Structure 1
Amino acid sequence: MSSTIRAIVVDDEELARRGIELRLQSHPDIELIAQCVNGREALSVIDAEQPDLMFLDIQMPGLSGFDVLARVPQESMPMIVFVTAYDRYALDAFEAHALDYLLKPINDARFAQALDRVREHWAQRNALAQREKLMSLLAATRGAGSIDEQTLREQLEPVQEQRYAEILPIRDDSETVRLNVATIDWIDAAGDYMCVHAEGRTYVLRETMKSLAAILDPKIFQRVHRSTIVNVKRVRRLRPHTNGEYFLTLEDGQEIKLSRSYRDRVDQLLQRRP
């Protein structure tokens, strides 16, 4: 896959399209290949150009943004960043599996945060595609004697490592913090938000537990409760509690309950630590 992310903008408002176009000029790794004024034009461009990313207005005459997605074949679906003038559409956007959404008028810092999420997802997609390609090669040559199977398997390991995030972009007041994932101690859910605890600070991130867990390396970050993820490297002690539950004590003294259903998995990881 190319390192350049090919994007299109779909919006019936010329000023909105122009605004995204101008902002993308500061991000050379994202190439704007087309601008569409309605849903039908977008479907035609997606079919012809197979873009990697689509900035999609939700409210458009004719086909809405959700109508467009319903008509795009799954194999052609680009990464989606919804654009809307109404905050109430945000939840619908996430339910439609958008990477992010932007409120009009678009804030520059918020735009940069959305692009960071796009890049993280793009890196994961590239790594998975590379792994699938290698696996296909392995399957095609098994038993042919022309390729060393063990060597190929060793090549797959670094590909797996690359798919996990190293930087977590988090909106903090009027700026976006690029948080080094390695500094995270633990994460807990608070309603529709995630509280990320790192280096004595707490950052609030609009994300789901499932999607956040998917981008964190499971060798380091493990679910210890349905609403808690912990950095296993920070765990110092396990203290038994009632009904098979435990309390984990982190380096900073923080105690976190380890649910019985997650105990075996975390226990194994702790035993493997150097």
Structure 2
Amino acid sequence: MKEPTPIKILIADDETLARKRIETFLEETSFPIILLQASNGKQTIDKILNDTPDLVFLDIKMTDMTGFDVLQQLPKESIPEIIFVTAFDTFAVQAFEVQALDFLLKPYKKARFLEALERGMLRVQQSQEHSFSEKVEELMKYISGNKPELGDTPAGYLDKIVLKSNKKYIFVATENVQYIKASGYYAEIFTHKGEKHLYRISMTELSQKLDPTSFSRVNRSAIVNRNFVKEVISEGLGDFSIVMTDQTAFPLSKTHKSTFLKQMGIRS
């Protein structure tokens, strides 16, 4: 019986322990593997071009460049199968989910790793290079803001937020988000139906991804969807408060007052 051809797998991660974790999981499988490693983006590019791995576990944020940078610097025909690895970039997770490119969200369990590995190995064995290249090309368009149908508005703003809950991914349409509150390292997202979700992202980063034709930062700790603003109350001495349709109230800070009032068609 002919021995199966070994599959070359590249682990690209700037953290030694992260590479070791994947290496250990791979060693516990029955797949015939040739293992390669890279600790930064430049090494990753060199390994892909010179050693031509079949499958790459690609970290999103390395010391010298991102996983996106790596893909953008490679000729399209040289890009192998990719399993993305990320610790916290949920916006990137959304791109991968919509594009059907697999990813591992740190910290991941062995079962989830094996699921991703088996999917990647199957793609390698089926030699789906053409369809994968098309997906990578679409992902590149998404990254550069030119993709209008991947869960973003034509201008590149989110039209849905992907939230991880245990083994599930929940999709919340931004048009249904009433307001967002800061909570430590998380953002608390409240929908018009009274649902509450936690999203690990800074308020500044999230505000940049929301369509300004609907969303406004009203103070350091709150973003509101103006479609759900019930009242704007003048408190005197130039102070204002905002009341939402569920009666939740927010103070309007001086930093954001002029812009918000203008957006609401109010002259202060």
| Normalised-by-shorter TM-score class | 0.5 to 0.7
Provide the secondary structure at the position in 1 that maps to 2:196.
strand
Tell me if structure 2 keeps the 8 A contact 1:172–1:203.
Answer: no
1:194 deviates by 0.6
Separation in 1 of the partners of 2:38 and 2:72?
Answer: 22
What letter matches 2:38 in structure 1? N
Q: Is 1:102 equivalent to 2:106 in the alignment?
A: yes
Residue 38 of structure 1 aligns to which amino acid in structure 2?
A
The equivalent of 1:155 in structure 2 is: none
Deviation (angstroms), 1:125: 2.2
> 2 CA distance for matches of 1:18 and 1:215?
40
- After superposition, what is the alpha-carbon deviation per residue over 1:165-196, rounded to whole angstroms, capped at 9, x for unaligned? 11111123442211111100000111111100
1:102/1:17 CA distance change after superposition, 3 Å: farther
Choose from 55, 58, 62 the match for 1:55: 58
Task: Give % identity.
Answer: 17
Residue 224 in structure 1 maps to residue 224 in structure 2? no
Aligned Cα root-mean-square deviation (Å): 4.7
Number of residue pairs matched by the alignment? 197
Partner of 1:189: 182
Q: Which amino acid aligns with 2:63?
A: F
Give the 3 Å change call, closer, same or farther, for CA 250–18 of structure 1 in structure 2: farther
CA–CA separation in structure 2 for the residues paired with 1:175 and 1:74: 28
Please tell me whether the aligned partners of residues 247 and 255 of structure 1 are also in contact (alpha carbons under 8 angstroms). Answer: yes
Please report the TM-score for the alignment, with normalisation by the length of structure 1: 0.55
Check 1:73–1:267 CA distance in 2 against 1; reply closer, same or farther (3 A cut). Answer: same
Of 143, 164, 188, the residue aligned with 1:125 is 143
Structure 1 match to 2:246: 252
Quote the residue 1:39 is aligned against.
39
Q: Which residue of 2 aligns with 1:66?
A: 63
- Greater helix proportion: 1
Report SS of the residue matched to 2:261.
helix
Cα distance between partner residues in 1 of 2:84 and 2:222 = 27
Structure 2 contact 153–159 (Cα < 8 Å) conserved: no
What is the Cα deviation at residue 160 of structure 1?
Answer: 7.4
Partner of 2:101: none
TM-score (normalised: structure 2)? 0.56
Change (3 A) 1:57 1:186: closer
1:128 CA displacement: 4.5
Structure 1 Cα separation of the partners of residues 260 and 83 of structure 2: 34
